[in-house]
Amino acid sequence: MLAREWVVVTDQRTGLGWLATQLWGERVLIASAVFVGFMMWLAGLHLGWVSFAVLLLVIAGLLRMERRAVEAGRRTMAVAPAAPVVEVAPPAEDLTPISAVLGALDAPALLLSARETVKLQNRAAEAIFGQIPQGSDLAGRIRAPSILDMVRDAIGSGQPRETEHAERLPSETVYVVRVAPLAGPTTEPLWLLTFRDVSQARRIDRMRSDFIANASHELRTPLASLRGFIETLQGPARNDLKAHERFLTIMHEQATRMSRLVDDLLSLSRLELRSNLAPDQTVDLVPLLGHVRDSLQPLASDLGVEIALDLPAHPVTVAGDRDELVEVFENLLENACKYGQEGKRVDVALSGGEGAPAELSVTDYGPGIPPEHVPRITERFYRVNVEASRSKKGTGLGLAIVKHILTRHKARLVVKSEVGKGTVFTVKF
């Protein structure tokens, strides 16, 4: 076995096979040497065998060095890791000119990217939505689905879009919201989202329609009465002096009722126009309630009702409009005297002040209000008893006016009533 292996190795390494392998592997070197020798022979340079062998060795060495250098370069290219690809971020867009334009707008405005992120906002938008960090998602601050759907539709289509959005709190506000592509100096597509407050126009439209509907309904009866009495005085009662006196008295009452109705409607309209404006005055309720009691004392005396005040010795101040608060307390005390006349007494109690919230209660001891009517008594023209209200010269708008004034003053009206025991109206500031 060992002899056989030795023969094979000898045949491959030192025998003719090895020599043939080496010569074939160096065929380029031999061919190069023969070519150089042939060219030298043509040039007339005759070399001996020793010189030719030396030349062959030199050429072989040079070719080997070149081959090794090429192979080393290939290995380096194969082994060396690829150089990392560095992404160069595009230069940030200069939004200064757009920011200056947005700052000059009085309407809330937001600058959006195509990814629905906020890039800029003006001061008007900051007052509504608060400070929105740059790059924040729009859906994280505006939760209205109609606005978000409109923005996505506009960005997808590349066309302006518009919708109407209403906010209920803290007061009813209506916006016309519009989004449109912004053609400017930037390469990135940008979109401008604006909010136009149309609350005032909507209130005026609603008040106009309400005034027409309610006024026409409430004025129809006294106008019909006036027309009938006038026709009677012009016809059958032309010469009846007693009928003249009686009819003219009724006509005066009906005209006075229409005048009160128009005054209350106008007052309610003015209040609705100012419902979103907070009062900026400070009012002490203690002397104000004394003034209201004195102004209603003749009415209370005619009805046989006593108005009792329970007021603290220290001031009780609230932020409010004095004339509007007088109107609130006059309405509450007048209603208590008229509809609680059977109880012969109205108690007015004021508490709070010196850091505590103010609270006023007006209590009558009349027939009370059935529980099914309590939630609706502040609606316009809603009456628990229509005949009793008209006989007491009520317009059906007093408590609606009270509710609107208290809403503007950030106060609320609480009504508690029990049939046969009276009613308590409480104003909590």
pLDDT band at 71 (very low <50, low <70, confident <90, very high): low
**Looking at residue 235, which CATH number applies to its domain?**
1.10.287.130
Q: How confident is the model at residue 16 (pLDDT cuts 50, 70, 90)?
A: very low
- CA distances to 177, 191, 367 from 160, rounded to whole Å, are 11, 9, 61
Residue closest to 427 by CA, chosen among 341, 332, 297, 320 = 332
Do 290 and 424 lie in one domain? The reply is yes
Which of 170, 197, 224 terminates a domain? The answer is: 197
pLDDT value of residue 35: 66
Asked whether residue 79 is domain-assigned, the answer is no
Tell me which of 169, 197, 225 is where a domain ends: 197
Share of residues in the chain with pLDDT > 70 (%):
74
Q: Find the range with the poorest average confidence among 1-15, 180-194, 249-263, 398-412.
A: 1-15
- Write out the two tokens for 135: 């790059």
Question: How many percent of the chain have pLDDT more than 90?
Answer: 23
- The count of structural domains within the chain is 4
Domain finish residue from 254, 273, 292:
273
The answer to whether the beta carbons of residues 422 and 364 sit under 8 Å apart is yes
What domain range includes position 249? Answer: 213-273
- Same domain? For 293 and 411 the reply is yes
User: Averaged over 237-244, what is the pLDDT?
Assistant: 84
Give me the pLDDT at residue 167, please: 83
Looking at the structure, do residues 409 and 345 belong to the same domain, yes or no? yes
- Average pLDDT on 367-383 reads 84
Q: For residue 24, what is the enclosing H or E element?
A: helix 16-25
Give pTM, 2 decimals. 0.49
CB atoms within 10 A of CB 314: 11
pLDDT score of 350: 92
Identify whether residues 173 and 228 lie together within a single domain. no
pLDDT digits 0-9 by tens, 196-230: 989 888 877 876 777 677 677 777 878 888 888 88
Question: What is the pLDDT at residue 152?
Answer: 93
CA gap 273, 210 in Å, rounded = 14
Place 87 in a pLDDT band, splitting at 50, 70 and 90.
very low
